Amino acid sequence: MLRQGWQLRAQCMSGEECMNKDSIGGCCTRLKTTGVGVFGEGASGTAADRLFRVEPGHNADFVLEQAALLMGCVSKLTQHVLFEQDEAMICAAHYLSGMAKAMVEDVAHGMMLGCSDNINDAR
Protein backbone atom coordinates (compact mmCIF):
# COMPACT_ATOMS: atom_id res chain seq x y z
CA MET A 1 0.00 0.00 0.00
CA LEU A 2 2.80 2.42 0.87
CA ARG A 3 4.47 1.65 -2.44
CA GLN A 4 1.27 2.49 -4.32
CA GLY A 5 1.08 5.82 -2.50
CA TRP A 6 4.61 6.69 -3.59
CA GLN A 7 3.83 5.67 -7.16
CA LEU A 8 0.73 7.85 -7.18
CA ARG A 9 2.71 10.76 -5.76
CA ALA A 10 5.41 10.24 -8.37
CA GLN A 11 2.77 10.32 -11.12
CA CYS A 12 1.30 13.54 -9.72
CA MET A 13 4.71 15.15 -9.42
CA SER A 14 5.58 14.22 -13.00
CA GLY A 15 2.43 15.92 -14.27
CA GLU A 16 0.57 12.75 -15.20
CA GLU A 17 -3.13 12.62 -14.47
CA CYS A 18 -3.46 11.51 -10.87
CA MET A 19 -7.23 11.65 -10.56
CA ASN A 20 -9.65 9.81 -12.75
CA LYS A 21 -13.37 9.14 -12.95
CA ASP A 22 -13.05 6.38 -10.35
CA SER A 23 -11.24 8.55 -7.80
CA ILE A 24 -13.99 10.95 -6.74
CA GLY A 25 -16.29 11.13 -9.74
CA GLY A 26 -19.97 10.76 -9.06
CA CYS A 27 -19.75 11.41 -5.34
CA CYS A 28 -21.28 14.86 -5.58
CA THR A 29 -23.20 14.86 -8.85
CA ARG A 30 -26.17 16.81 -7.50
CA LEU A 31 -24.04 19.36 -5.68
CA LYS A 32 -23.17 22.43 -7.78
CA THR A 33 -21.04 25.50 -7.30
CA THR A 34 -22.90 28.59 -6.09
CA GLY A 35 -20.65 31.39 -7.31
CA VAL A 36 -19.52 32.68 -3.91
CA GLY A 37 -15.89 31.51 -4.09
CA VAL A 38 -13.67 34.49 -4.93
CA PHE A 39 -9.97 35.21 -5.28
CA GLY A 40 -7.72 38.19 -5.94
CA GLU A 41 -8.12 41.77 -4.87
CA GLY A 42 -9.39 44.22 -7.43
CA ALA A 43 -8.07 47.73 -8.01
CA SER A 44 -9.92 49.16 -5.01
CA GLY A 45 -8.39 46.58 -2.65
CA THR A 46 -11.72 45.89 -0.95
CA ALA A 47 -13.20 42.49 -0.23
CA ALA A 48 -16.19 43.34 -2.43
CA ASP A 49 -13.99 44.01 -5.46
CA ARG A 50 -12.52 40.66 -6.57
CA LEU A 51 -10.79 39.72 -9.81
CA PHE A 52 -11.93 36.10 -9.98
CA ARG A 53 -15.13 34.31 -9.01
CA VAL A 54 -16.11 30.65 -9.33
CA GLU A 55 -18.92 30.37 -11.84
CA PRO A 56 -22.13 28.87 -10.44
CA GLY A 57 -23.50 25.59 -11.76
CA HIS A 58 -20.40 23.40 -12.07
CA ASN A 59 -20.48 19.86 -10.62
CA ALA A 60 -18.77 19.75 -7.24
CA ASP A 61 -16.82 16.58 -8.01
CA PHE A 62 -15.23 18.24 -11.05
CA VAL A 63 -14.43 21.41 -9.10
CA LEU A 64 -12.84 19.46 -6.23
CA GLU A 65 -10.75 17.51 -8.71
CA GLN A 66 -9.52 20.75 -10.29
CA ALA A 67 -8.73 22.19 -6.85
CA ALA A 68 -6.71 19.07 -6.01
CA LEU A 69 -4.76 19.39 -9.26
CA LEU A 70 -4.00 23.05 -8.52
CA MET A 71 -2.79 22.12 -5.04
CA GLY A 72 -0.52 19.49 -6.61
CA CYS A 73 1.05 22.28 -8.65
CA VAL A 74 1.39 24.41 -5.51
CA SER A 75 3.15 21.55 -3.76
CA LYS A 76 5.60 21.12 -6.61
CA LEU A 77 6.29 24.86 -6.83
CA THR A 78 6.90 25.21 -3.10
CA GLN A 79 9.28 22.25 -3.13
CA HIS A 80 11.31 23.97 -5.85
CA VAL A 81 11.28 27.25 -3.92
CA LEU A 82 12.91 25.49 -0.96
CA PHE A 83 16.05 25.10 -3.08
CA GLU A 84 15.77 27.98 -5.55
CA GLN A 85 14.87 31.44 -4.30
CA ASP A 86 12.51 32.41 -7.11
CA GLU A 87 10.00 35.17 -6.46
CA ALA A 88 7.94 34.21 -9.53
CA MET A 89 7.45 30.66 -8.19
CA ILE A 90 6.34 32.01 -4.81
CA CYS A 91 3.87 34.33 -6.50
CA ALA A 92 2.55 31.51 -8.72
CA ALA A 93 2.08 29.25 -5.69
CA HIS A 94 0.20 32.04 -3.90
CA TYR A 95 -2.18 32.59 -6.82
CA LEU A 96 -2.77 28.89 -7.50
CA SER A 97 -3.47 28.14 -3.83
CA GLY A 98 -5.89 31.08 -3.68
CA MET A 99 -7.76 29.78 -6.71
CA ALA A 100 -7.98 26.29 -5.22
CA LYS A 101 -9.19 27.77 -1.92
CA ALA A 102 -11.94 29.71 -3.71
CA MET A 103 -13.11 26.52 -5.43
CA VAL A 104 -13.23 24.54 -2.19
CA GLU A 105 -14.99 27.38 -0.36
CA ASP A 106 -17.61 27.54 -3.10
CA VAL A 107 -18.30 23.80 -2.90
CA ALA A 108 -18.43 24.00 0.91
CA HIS A 109 -20.99 26.80 0.63
CA GLY A 110 -23.06 24.63 -1.71
CA MET A 111 -22.85 21.77 0.78
CA MET A 112 -24.07 24.03 3.58
CA LEU A 113 -26.97 25.21 1.45
CA GLY A 114 -27.80 21.59 0.65
CA CYS A 115 -27.72 20.64 4.33
CA SER A 116 -29.99 23.54 5.30
CA ASP A 117 -32.41 22.58 2.50
CA ASN A 118 -32.51 19.02 3.82
CA ILE A 119 -33.21 20.28 7.36
CA ASN A 120 -36.00 22.55 6.12
CA ASP A 121 -37.48 19.70 4.04
CA ALA A 122 -37.56 17.43 7.11
CA ARG A 123 -39.61 19.95 9.13
Nearest to 34 by CA among 96, 104, 122, 120: 104
Indicate if the alpha-carbon torsion angle 6, 69, 20, 28 is positive or negative: positive
Strand-pairing partners, residue 41, are 50
Q: Are 19 and 65 in contact (CB under 8 A)?
A: yes
pLDDT at 44: 84
Is there a contact between 51 and 40 (Cβ–Cβ < 8 Å)?
yes
pLDDT at 115: 65
Q: Please list the rounded mean pLDDT of every run of 10 residues in the chain (123 residues).
A: 35 44 54 94 80 94 97 96 92 96 96 66 43
pTM of the model: 0.69
pLDDT digits (tens, 9 = 90+) for 5-26: 333 333 444 444 444 455 444 4
- Give the orientation angle of helix 60-83 with respect to helix 87-122, to 10 degrees: 150
